[in-house]
C-alpha cells in the first residue's frame, strides 16, 4: 500500500482546502474543501438510512441521480441538518458557489457537511473562501484535515491496479470517529478513480462495497444525519474494466473502503483498541451479518474489551439477541487463538490468558454457529470513559 495522495492519487483529480470559520471560535482550522476532476465523472453514492437526513445528502442524491459530477464541496463544523427548507437552500447555494469556481453546472457538484446538528450553515463564509482554494495534486492532505471533526488524525489510502486492459488508480479519504454504526454512520468517505467505469456498474459496486466495509463497523451504535459514501470515476486512464477486470476493480474499491473503514474504527472517540468479529457457520449470510454487527455494537462486549475483563459470555449473549438463529449447543467462541467455548460447552481456561488477549491493541473474536455456511466480518472498538467525556462536551 502506498499512502500519500488519497483523492488525488487517481489521474485527473485535484483538491484543496481553506479556513472559513464555519464553527464559531475555530477560525484557525481548515474547514472547507474542494475535490475536483478535470472532466465529468460517473458517480455513485450511498447515504444515511436515518430518517432525519441532512440537506447536503438530499441535494447530493438529487445531483447523483441527474448524471455526471465534476467534484465535491465539503465543510466541517456544521452539519446543516435539522435546518428545514433554509438548509436545503444553503446546500444548493454551496453547490452554486463551488460550481462558479470549478466552471461547471451546480448540478455537477456534490455537497457534504459534517459537524454540529441544528445550526444554520454560514454559507456566505464558505462561498467567500472557495475562490481562494488552490486546487493541486498536493491538496489531498489539507482536504483530509479539513473534513475532520472529533477525528484525531486524517484517514487516507490508495491503490494502483494492474488490470489486463491497463493500469488504474483508486484513492480515498474519510472522516469519522463518533456516531458510527452499520447502515452508514457519522461518516464522510470520498473515493476517486481514473478508471472508465460504466455508471450502472459503479452503482452496483458501491452498494456491494458499502455493505461489507462501512456498514460493517461500529463505534457507538448511533447513525447520523449526514453519512455519505461517494465514488467518482473520471475515465482519464482510458481503461474500461470488463469481465475479470471489473471484478478486480470492485475488489480494489473494496480494499480502499475497508482500509478507510478500519481507520475510522481505530480512531473511534476514546478508543484504545480495535476488535474484529468473524462469524462463521451461520444459517445464512444475513444471519452472520446480524450476529457480527450486534457483537461489535454491544456496550457490554466493548467495555469488557476495554477493561480486559475475561467475560467472554457477553459475546455469545450478544449473538443470541441479534435476531440471527443461534443454538448455544452447537456454537463455539474463540478469542485470538484460545477457544473459551466449544461445541456448546465452556472450556477451562485461565482468566489471565483471556485478559492478556483482551489487553492487546487488536482483539480477534471468532464465533462459529454450526448451523450452515453463512459468514461475515465486522469491526468495532472498545468503549472508554474518554468517549463519554468527548460527547458530553461536544458543543462546549
| Per-residue pLDDT tens over the stretch 274-318 | 889 999 999 999 999 999 989 988 888 988 888 887 788 999 999
The whole-model pTM stands at 0.79
Look up the CATH architecture of domain 274-392: Roll (3.10)
Q: What is the DSSP letter of 383?
A: -
Residues 6+ apart with CB under 8 A from 108: 40, 63, 67, 68, 69, 70, 71, 99, 102
State residue 66's pLDDT score: 96
State residue 269's pLDDT score: 67
Domain residue ranges in the chain: 6-264, 274-392
**Lowest-pLDDT range of 20-24, 188-192, 196-200, 275-279:** 20-24
Could you identify the residue written with the cell 459534517? 114
Report the sign of the C-alpha dihedral through residues 336, 341, 344, 348, in that order. Answer: positive
Instruction: Read off the pLDDT band of 387 (50, 70, 90).
Output: low
Q: Is the pLDDT of residue 252 over 50?
A: yes
Q: Return d(Cα 183, Cα 238) in angstroms, integer.
A: 34
Q: Is the pLDDT of residue 24 over 80?
A: no
pLDDT higher at 360 or 249 = 249
Mean pLDDT over 166-171 rounds to: 98
State residue 2's pLDDT score: 43
State residue 260's pLDDT score: 93
- Which is nearest to 217 in space by CA: 276, 167, 168? 276
**DSSP letters for 88-132:** HHHHHHHHHHHHHHHTS-GGGEEEEEEEESSS---HHHHHHHGGG
| Cβ neighbours around 111 below 10 Å, total | 27
Mean pLDDT over 189-196 rounds to: 97
Among left, alpha and beta (phi > 0; psi -120 to 50; other), residue 238 is left
Q: Return d(Cα 82, Cα 8) in angstroms, integer.
A: 32
Helices marked H in the chain: 55-66, 84-102, 123-129, 140-146, 199-212, 244-266, 285-297, 299-307, 313-320, 351-358, 385-392
Q: What percent of the chain lies above the pLDDT cut of 70?
A: 89
pLDDT digits (tens, 9 = 90+) for 140-165: 999 999 999 878 888 999 999 999 99
Q: Is the pLDDT of residue 182 over 50?
A: no
Q: Return d(Cα 122, Cα 136) in angstroms, integer.
A: 26
- Element (DSSP H or E) covering residue 217: strand 217-218
pLDDT higher at 305 or 74 = 74
Mean pLDDT over 91-97 rounds to: 98
**What are the catalytic residues?**
186
Look at the domain 6-264 and name its fold.
3.60.70
State residue 280's pLDDT score: 96
Q: Is the pLDDT of residue 11 over 90?
A: yes
**Lowest-pLDDT range of 143-152, 245-254, 367-376:** 143-152
Q: Is the pLDDT of residue 104 over 70?
A: yes
Task: Compute CA distances 379 → 60, 96, 220, 278, 312, whole Å.
Answer: 28, 38, 12, 9, 17
Mean pLDDT over 88-110 rounds to: 98
Query: Are residues 187 and 228 in contact, defined by beta-carbon separation less than 8 angstroms?
Result: yes
Mean pLDDT over 47-66 rounds to: 87
State residue 184's pLDDT score: 45
Mean pLDDT over 73-88 rounds to: 93
Helix axes 244-266, 199-212, angle to 10 degrees: 40
Instruction: Read off the pLDDT band of 396 (50, 70, 90).
Output: low
pLDDT higher at 388 or 38 = 38
Helices marked H in 268-396: 285-297, 299-307, 313-320, 351-358, 385-392
Q: Is the pLDDT of residue 390 over 80?
A: no
State residue 393's pLDDT score: 61
Amino acid at each position: 500500500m502506498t499512502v500519500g495522495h488519497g483523492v488525488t492519487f487517481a489521474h485527473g483529480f485535484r483538491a484543496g482546502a481553506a479556513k472559513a470559520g464555519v464553527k464559531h471560535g475555530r477560525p484557525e482550522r481548515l474547514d472547507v474543501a474542494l475535490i475536483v476532476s478535470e472532466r465529468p465523472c460517473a458517480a455513485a453514492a450511498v447515504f444515511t438510512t436515518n430518517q432525519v437526513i441532512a440537506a447536503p445528502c438530499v441535494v447530493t442524491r438529487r445531483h447523483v441521480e441527474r448524471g455526471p459530477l465534476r467534484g465535491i464541496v465539503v465543510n466541517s463544523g456544521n452539519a446543516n441538518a435539522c435546518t428545514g427548507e433554509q438548509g436545503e437552500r444553503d446546500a444548493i447555494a454551496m453547490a452554486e458557489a463551488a460550481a462558479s469556481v470549478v466552471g461547471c453546472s451546480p448540478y455537477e457538484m456534490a455537497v457534504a457537511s459534517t459537524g454540529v446538528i441544528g445550526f444554520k450553515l454560514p454559507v456566505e463564509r464558505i462561498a467567500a473562501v472557495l475562490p481562494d482554494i488552490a486546487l493541486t495534486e498536493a491538496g489531498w492532505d489539507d482536504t483530509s484535515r479539513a473534513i475532520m471533526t472529533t477525528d484525531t488524525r486524517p484517514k487516507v489510502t490508495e491503490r494502483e491496479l494492474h488490470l489486463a486492459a491497463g493500469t488504474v488508480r483508486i484513492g480515498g479519504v474519510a472522516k469519522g470517529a463518533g456516531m458510527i454504526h452499520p447502515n452508514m454512520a457519522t461518516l464522510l468517505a470520498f473515493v476517486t478513480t481514473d478508471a472508465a467505469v460504466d455508471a450502472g456498474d459503479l452503482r452496483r459496486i458501491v452498494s456491494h462495497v458499502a455493505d461489507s466495509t462501512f456498514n460493517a463497523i461500529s463505534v457507538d451504535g448511533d447513525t447520523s444525519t449526514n453519512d455519505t459514501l461517494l465514488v467518482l470515476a473520471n475515465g482519464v486512464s482510458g481503461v474500461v474494466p470488463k469481465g475479470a477486470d471489473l471484478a478486480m476493480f470492485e475488489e480494489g474499491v473494496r480494499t480502499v473502503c475497508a482500509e478507510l473503514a478500519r481507520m475510522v474504527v481505530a480512531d473511534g472517540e476514546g478508543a484504545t483498541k480495535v476488535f474484529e468479529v468473524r462469524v462463521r457457520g451461520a444459517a445464512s449470510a444475513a444471519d452472520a451479518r446480524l450476529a457480527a454487527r450486534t457483537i461489535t455494537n454491544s456496550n457490554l462486549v466493548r467495555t469488557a474489551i476495554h477493561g480486559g475483563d475475561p467475560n467472554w459470555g457477553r459475546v455469545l449473549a450478544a449473538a443470541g439477541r441479534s435476531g440471527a438463529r443461534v443454538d448455544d449447543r452447537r456454537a463455539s467462541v474463540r478469542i485470538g487463538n484460545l477457544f473459551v467455548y466449544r461445541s456448546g460447552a465452556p472450556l477451562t481456561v485461565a482468566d489471565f490468558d483471556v485478559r492478556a488477549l483482551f489487553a492487546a491493541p487488536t482483539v480477534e473474536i471468532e464465533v462459529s454457529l454450526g448451523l450452515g455456511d453463512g459468514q461475515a466480518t465486522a469491526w468495532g472498538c472498545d468503549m472508554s470513559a474518554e468517549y463519554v467525556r468527548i460527547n458530553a462536551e461536544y458543543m462546549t
